[in-house]
Amino acid sequence: MKASLQLWKKKSQHWLITKILTLMILITGYTSRLKQNNNGVLKDTMKLYGSVIVATWHKNIFFSIWLLRNHDLTALISSSDDGEAIYDVFAKFGYKAVRGSTSRGGIPALKQLIKLLKQKTSVAITPDGPLGPPEKIQSGVVLLAKYSGVPIIPWHYEADSQWRLKSWDRHKIPKPFTNIVESYGEPFFVPKDLPSEEVQEFCKKLEDSLKELAQSTNAEIIESRIK
């Protein structure tokens, strides 16, 4: 009886969290004002290579669900309990998903993503997830690009007005009626013959690329406030 009650409570909480997150995304999505930078690069690169890897920081997950919803991406989502609600929210917006991680021994997830990319299915991952450290590239995304033969597209967004959670990644929750800027970086290529001793070097290069993209996007938000 006690176990059944706990299970019912867990399912109820899960249902409620999913509903709240979905509603928040919809309200903010329909009321915010969006500016896009270099968004054509994603479509052009997909056309040229068949598929791409969209990479962004873990703190961007919440509203990336709305901003990237029309690009037919398969998301990599943590297999933890916390990832369960996120998985369901992604599904509400038409995403497919792979559960797991490309770091910390996540070989099955890595193999599944490589297979999808070779089948011309683009994927979206957070290379500093699922547990951080924040804004530090784990090797999985570089290995994914190496073995699949497709480029990585750095992606970032900033909101003029937002909440920040007290989580390890200081997750961003844009407020309704805010201004949002989303930016797509240029394709980041990883050689198929990249030696294992150079993987960390490419992790650093990608990390720098994402940080530069974040800085330029944030600068644009700050500039819009001045105007």
Read off the pLDDT band of 1 (50, 70, 90).
low
Residue 199, pLDDT above cutoff 90: yes
Q: What is the dihedral of CA 85, 88, 93, 95, to 10 degrees?
A: 110
pTM of the complete model: 0.92
Whether residue 151 contacts residue 169, with contact meaning beta carbons closer than 8 Å, is answered with no
Q: Look up the CATH number of domain 2-226.
A: 3.40.1130.10
Angle at 84 between CA 118 and CA 131, to 5 degrees: 75
Instruction: Find tokens 């009626």 and name the residue.
Output: 177
Burial 34-69 (b: 16+ CB within 10 A, else e): eeebeeebbeebbeebbbbbbbbbbbbbbbbbbbbb
Measured distance CA(33)–CA(91) in Å, rounded: 24
Q: What is the pLDDT of residues 43-55, one digit of tens each?
A: 999 999 999 999 9
Average pLDDT over residues 15-23: 93
Domain positions in the chain: 2-226
Q: What is the pLDDT of residues 120-166, one digit of tens each?
A: 999 999 999 788 899 999 999 999 999 999 999 999 999 999 999 99
Query: Phi and psi (nearest 5°) for 83?
Result: -75, -15
Q: What residues contact residue 50 under an 8 Å CB cut-off, 6+ apart?
A: 120, 150
**Helix spans in the chain (H):** 2-31, 40-49, 61-67, 81-92, 107-118, 139-148, 199-226
- Per-residue model confidence (pLDDT) at position 176: 98
